[in-house]
Homo-oligomer: A and B are copies of this chain.
Amino acid sequence: MLRVPYPDLYAALHRATLHLGLRDDRAALCARLFAETTRDGVYTHGLARFPRFAAMVANGCIDIAAQPTRVSGAAALERWDGHRGPGNLNAHAAMQRAIELARLHGLGGVALANTNHWMRGGSYGWLAADAGLFALCWTNTLPNLPAWGASTPTVGNNPLVIAVPRANGEHIVLDMAISQFSYGAISAAAERGQQLPVPGGYDDAGHLTTDPAAIEASQRALPIGYWKGSGLSLVLDLLAAMLSGGQATHQLSADPARESGLSQIFLAIDPSSFATRPDLDRIATAIVDSLHDAPPIDPNHPARYPGEQTLHLRAENLRLGVPVDPTLWRNLLALTF
């Protein structure tokens, strides 16, 4: 792994987004969202995703020029069409609009149809939290998990983000897929010859297993909580598709290189009409303190809140350089994706 200064990573990504045909502010924002994701330690969804992003521009799934438009709405709730533009730009615009609506109405919601993979969902949670707001957002995905009771992938892993702002910037941001492990994590463990830390799926004989190769063979990865995650995934898809009027998981291509036309929900909550930042912070700090004070199983690994490592990794990567895969980095500099 190579470490490159953050400004260099951003500049190279910016050159790449311009090269793909994005213009002006949109090229800069798209590059920044990719660069910040890697900077914050979410390595699977930053630079590592850029080649697929470029491939989907090339194969026509992503329309680089398309901008999201408001279709309809009333007061706090709006329906938008992403016109299959870049997923991270669409999601950023949708959360920004939900924030505006929440500032007006206390709550703000945007249901976005016809969009593309939003890359790191946590980005939009951080966006709202940096603005001082709470947020919930989620996306549907291609079918990549068997519903509980089904033998083939039927539901999506539908990442869910919930963000809690703190005035000091140490936001609490849950960013989780509904699968216990991503297929990427399962493949990586299989390549390393390692077992998963907890059961991640079923083998072909129908037994729970921590063996990643057996799960790759059966294609029966687990939703979190078995039947519970299966149900959660389904209702997230229902809300996303019904409210946006867009596609549901069952309508999406099972080919990850053609996973396009997603539906997403963005909800922002602004309690500033009745709660002061210090009052909110006091409650959050007490909850975080109680978590940190819990007797740990391993004294070297106390309980942590979601996103707790983000600011630490961000600081480290800004100081030491952002870790990048040398081949990806070389290709990025050469504008060959």
Contact = CB atoms under 8 A, between A and B. Distances in A.
A36 interface: no
A306 B231 contact: yes
Main secondary structure on A side of the interface with B: mixed
A251 to B, nearest CB: 8
A279 B241 CA distance: 11
Nearest to A241: B283
Nearest to A75: B105
A284 B206 CA distance: 30
Interface stretch (A186-194, A269-277, A310-318): A269-277
A201 interface: no
B242 A275 contact: yes
Contact of A106 (B77, B147, B245): B77
Contacts of A228: 176, 180, 224
Interface in A51-103: 71-79
Interface string A128-170: 0000001010000000001111111011000010101000000
Interface string A255-291: 0000000000001011101110001100110110011
A162 B235 contact: yes
Interface in A281-328: 283-284, 286-287, 290-291, 294-298, 301-306
A53 to B, nearest CB: 26
A291 B234 contact: yes
A107 interface: yes
A74 B61 CA distance: 41
A295 B126 CA distance: 39
Contact of A235 (B72, B172, B206, B245): B172
B147 A303 contact: yes
A20 B280 CA distance: 37
16 contacts: A72-B274, A74-B273, A77-B270, A107-B109, A134-B243, A148-B303, A150-B297, A150-B302, A151-B295, A164-B242, A176-B228, A198-B208, A206-B297, A225-B225, A238-B283, A242-B271
